């Protein structure tokens, strides 16, 4: 994909599209391609499915495609499925973290894995994020494919040195002698009265680290597909999971699939304005979209999913059609993902814009414990409706 600068360029290029799979919607077939050239080789040439385009009925991306076959899972169960499939097929995949073993993880993503694969592959660690994240980096250097779980993403600030100076840079500073196929994952975002320290959104902290990829899952379908792709990647990948999305239920295919790490998902095609969002805000945007349609607007909704690098190909094609952009995020406004995305759009698609880019973000304050105040710090559907009306005047 085309990219504006080194900030938005992935280290290895994705391979070309190679075909299609049986998992198709009524309106558009899912495209298929390999996430990496190395992935196809490691996985025996298995095809890698990318995001589908939903119909204007505001259905989730994979609903229409999976009514005839598949099985229903919750998002945390989809993550576990992806993890188990990769552990089954690759003995180098292992998991480190607090309570990931026989307790099953704080949100049960690793439940049952210790019984099946043993304590050495599913390793309970002390409460020492810097230590076990550093251990994950070392394991990756020696040929393993570790998954490091943060019990809460806010705790991973204790491991910022290991994430930044080690896993993000060692491939470069070693002159290519080492690769760091490390996945860092865990719950984050504003939950329900979890307080300031447990409501962190660390996307903005990690986005400037060279050599690090970032993705955010939002449905059971893409949670499983992104988990599998992240494990197979030779790059260090941070997988952001939102604490309020773990109990989302969706039917996913029985057959194996993998989502592309660098591709956005077209959630709802439209003509009047491009709304770019990710994670939990996808659902606030879709709620607002129903109101906007009733008012005569036709918004195009894109779940960017890949927070670094941005899928500027998908984003650019949408902007060339609608000429208006609204970014909706739960990240902080100052230095957030929205700020970087707005900069990339201005650099690449300025001539196609008919209105200033608007960005709705969380307020730059610690997240309050009180529920009404907590809601006031996060973007709500009514604000999205008002912003679209202003852009389309």
The predicted structure's pLDDT at residue 200: 86
The predicted structure's pLDDT at residue 201: 86
- Catalytically active residues are 129, 198
Q: What is the mean pLDDT of residues 212-231?
A: 97
Give the DSSP letter string of 288-343: HHHHHHHTT--EEEEE--EEES--HHHHHHHHHHH--EEEEEEEESTT-HHHHHHH
Q: For 298-345, how does the pLDDT look when each residue is reduced to its tens digit (9 = 90+)?
A: 999 999 999 999 999 999 999 999 999 999 999 988 989 999 999 999
Binned at pLDDT 50, 70 and 90, residue 68 comes out as: low
What is the pTM (predicted TM-score) of this model? 0.82
Q: For 104-156, how does the pLDDT look when each residue is reduced to its tens digit (9 = 90+)?
A: 998 999 999 999 999 999 999 999 999 999 999 999 999 999 999 999 888 99
The predicted structure's pLDDT at residue 9: 34
Distance CA 283, CA 37 (A): 33
Q: What is the mean pLDDT of residues 14-33?
A: 33
Q: What is the mean pLDDT of residues 185-204?
A: 88
56-60, 192-196, 263-267: least confidently modelled range:
56-60
Q: Find out whether 25 and 65 touch, Cβ atoms under 8 Å.
A: yes
Q: Which helix (H) or strand (E) segment is 231 a member of?
A: helix 220-232
- The neighbouring-strand residues paired with 276 are 302, 327
Cα 344 vs. chain centroid, distance in angstroms? 19
Q: For 331-383, how does the pLDDT look when each residue is reduced to its tens digit (9 = 90+)?
A: 988 989 999 999 999 999 999 999 999 999 999 899 999 999 999 999 999 99
Tokens 């990690």 locate to 206
Distance CA 75, CA 392 (A): 35
Q: Please tell me what DSSP assigns to residue 49.
A: B
The predicted structure's pLDDT at residue 28: 35
């Amino acid at each position: 994909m085309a990219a504006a600068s080194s900030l938005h360029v992935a280290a290895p290029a994705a391979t070309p599209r190679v075909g299609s799979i049986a998992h198709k919607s009524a309106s558009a077939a899912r495209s298929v391609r390999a996430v990496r050239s190395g992935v196809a080789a490691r996985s025996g040439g298995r095809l890698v499915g990318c995001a589908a385009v939903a119909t204007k009925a505001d259905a989730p991306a994979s609903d229409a495609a999976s009514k005839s076959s598949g099985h229903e899972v919750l998002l945390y169960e989809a993550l576990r499925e992806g993890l188990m499939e990769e552990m089954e097929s690759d003995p180098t995949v292992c998991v480190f973290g607090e309570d990931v073993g026989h307790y099953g993880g704080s949100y049960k993503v690793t439940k049952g894995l210790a019984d099946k694969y043993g304590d050495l592959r599913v390793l309970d660690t002390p409460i020492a994020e810097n230590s076990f994240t550093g251990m994950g980096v070392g394991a990756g250097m020696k040929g393993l494919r570790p998954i490091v779980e943060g019990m809460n993403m806010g705790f991973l600030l204790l491991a910022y040195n290991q994430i930044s100076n080690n896993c993000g840079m060692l491939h470069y500073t070693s002159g290519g002698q080492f690769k760091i196929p490390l996945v860092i994952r865990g719950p984050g975002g504003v939950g329900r009265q979890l307080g300031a320290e447990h409501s962190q959104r660390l996307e903005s902290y990690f986005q400037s680290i060279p050599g690090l990829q970032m993705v955010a899952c939002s449905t059971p379908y893409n949670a499983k597909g992104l988990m599998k792709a992240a494990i197979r990647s030779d790059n260090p990948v941070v997988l952001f999971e939102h604490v309020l999305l773990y109990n989302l239920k969706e039917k996913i295919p029985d057959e194996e699939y993998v989502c592309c790490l660098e591709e956005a998902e077209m959630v709802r095609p439209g003509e009047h304005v491009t709304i770019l969002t990710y994670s939990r805000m996808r659902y606030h945007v879709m709620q607002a979209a129903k109101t906007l349609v009733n008012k005569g607007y036709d918004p195009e909704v894109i779940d960017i999913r890949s927070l670094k690098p941005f899928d500027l190909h998908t984003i650019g094609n949408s902007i060339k059609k609608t000429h208006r952009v609204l970014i909706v995020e739960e990240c902080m406004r100052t230095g957030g993902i929205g700020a970087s995305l707005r900069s990339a759009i201005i650099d690449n698609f300025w001539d196609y814009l008919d209105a200033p880019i608007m960005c709705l973000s969380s307020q730059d304050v610690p997240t309050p414990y009180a529920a009404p105040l907590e809601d006031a710090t996060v973007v709500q559907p009514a604000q999205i409706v008002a912003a679209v009306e202003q852009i389309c005047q």
